[in-house]
Amino acid sequence: MLRIENLTKRFGSNSAVDNVSFTVDKPMMIGVIGASGAGKSTMLRMLNRLNDATEGSIFFNDHDVTRLQGKAKREWQSECAMIFQQFNLVPRMDVVSNVLHGTLNKRGTLATLFNLYPTEDIHKAIEILDRLGIAEHAPKRAEALSGGQQQRVAIARALMQDPQIILADEPIASLDPMNAQIVMEALRRIHEEDGRMVIANLHTLDTARRYCDRVIGMRQGRVVFDGTPEQLTTGVARDIYGAGAGFSEAATSTEIEALNTPEAVPA
């Protein structure tokens, strides 16, 4: 289904992603973990073709995604929806219009320019918002919502694309624990109920263990762990985050967050 072969991204002399290979043969929920600068975000941006790979290939159903250009590339970006840490909504636009932006790659220039949407698309957007528990906020400006509600709007926008893959780049990093749980449960339900592949960059081990079927650990641009949540032991965590990380046996969120301070190296 999804096959990554020797994927590499260099920024000057620095390899943000270094010779990464893995295969996903069925829809599953995958957590990608690692300290800031490990290459997690860069890898997701290459999967979505927001960044081009320096070397290597990405295959989806045996089609080489890394070679796509123009319309074919835009179609892939609809099939592989992206959710960002900072939501990337239009703050002064109403919620339902933000969700409808998920159809932009499929609409004509005139319709986009005048913000014209088919009635069926509007109904679909509201149904998705209802599924995520925020339909009552459809007429409000996005900026009037809480962070957790805005992230659910971003998820709704991604679902509006009807993608086969959802990529979530640190989707809960800026949320409080309650909203983080709501967002992760929503992503898990989407995977289970829709049969969609979800790949999420996560900053805590406990989140990866709780919600994911498979965990990929990255360190300095390379994959250093690929296994089940049950295999994600404290010893493995030290391999991912560094021997000097000093985890307790519980490997708490606070301990992991301390390792995710911003760095100059792209994440």
pTM of the model: 0.88
**43 and 37 in contact (C-beta within 8 Å)?**
no
101 secondary structure, DSSP code: G
pLDDT of residue 251: 45
pLDDT digits (tens, 9 = 90+) for 28-84: 999 999 999 999 999 999 999 999 999 999 999 999 999 999 999 999 999 999 999
Q: Is residue 212 part of a domain?
A: yes
Q: Chain-centre distance of CA 244, in angstroms?
A: 28
Q: Is residue 23 part of a domain?
A: yes
Residue in 158, 207, 211, 202 with CA at minimum distance from that of residue 48: 158
pLDDT of residue 249: 42
Backbone φ, ψ for residue 231 (5° rounding): -85, -5
pLDDT digits (tens, 9 = 90+) for 127-166: 999 999 999 999 999 999 999 999 999 999 999 999 999 9
Question: CA-based diameter of the chain, in Å?
Answer: 58
- The structural domain count of the chain equals 1
Question: Looking at residue 35, which CATH number applies to its domain?
Answer: 3.40.50.300
Residue in 8, 110, 113 with CA at minimum distance from that of residue 55: 8
Q: Is residue 243 part of a domain?
A: yes
Range of the domain at 93: 2-258
Q: Is residue 176 part of a domain?
A: yes
pLDDT digits (tens, 9 = 90+) for 116-138: 788 999 999 999 999 999 999 99
Residue at 100: amino acid letter: L
Q: Is residue 64 part of a domain?
A: yes
Rounded distance, CA 171 to CA 182, Å?
Answer: 11
217 strand-pairing partners? 33, 225
pLDDT digits (tens, 9 = 90+) for 170-202: 999 999 999 999 999 999 999 999 999 999 999
